[in-house]
């Protein structure tokens, strides 16, 4: 599933070493609106999958999250466990002069304040 996220995500450095991984917080499913979109998408996917056309080519019952997962809370929990990005988390930080309030790196990718 792919849907727009309403809260802002963020990425921060974890140390001054370029070898250490950054801390990336995508803020997935933290807003009520995003949760409603995810639930609506899952319900629609189940409706489409239940059509005779798709059932005729299916090789078994619903695998994920499974037909036994029915409540909105359980569906959201399953989505949270399996949600991942297909995009590389890049270009999330502004490249500007250090005086700019949203600037993170300069024009040669040096991190401000490090």
Active site residue 88: yes
How far is Cα 98 from Cα 107, in angstroms, rounded to an integer?
10
Burial class (CB in 10 A: 0-12, 13-18, 19+), 11: middle
Dihedral-angle region of residue 62 (phi above 0 means left; psi in -120 to 50 means alpha; beta otherwise): beta
The one catalytic residue in 81, 88, 91, 113 is: 88
Q: Both tokens of residue 3?
A: 């849907």
Catalytic annotation, residues:
88
């Amino acid at each position: 599933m792919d849907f727009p996220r309403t809260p802002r995500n963020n990425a921060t450095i974890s140390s001054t070493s370029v070898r250490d991984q950054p801390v990336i917080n995508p803020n997935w499913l933290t807003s009520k609106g995003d949760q409603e979109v995810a639930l609506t998408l899952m319900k629609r996917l189940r409706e489409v999958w239940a059509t005779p056309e798709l059932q005729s080519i299916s090789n078994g019952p619903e695998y994920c999250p499974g037909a036994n997962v029915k409540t909105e809370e359980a569906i959201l929990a399953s989505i949270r466990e399996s949600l991942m990005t297909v995009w590389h988390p890049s270009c999330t930080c502004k490249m500007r002069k250090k005086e700019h309030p949203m600037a993170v790196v300069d024009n040669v990718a040096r991190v401000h304040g490090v």
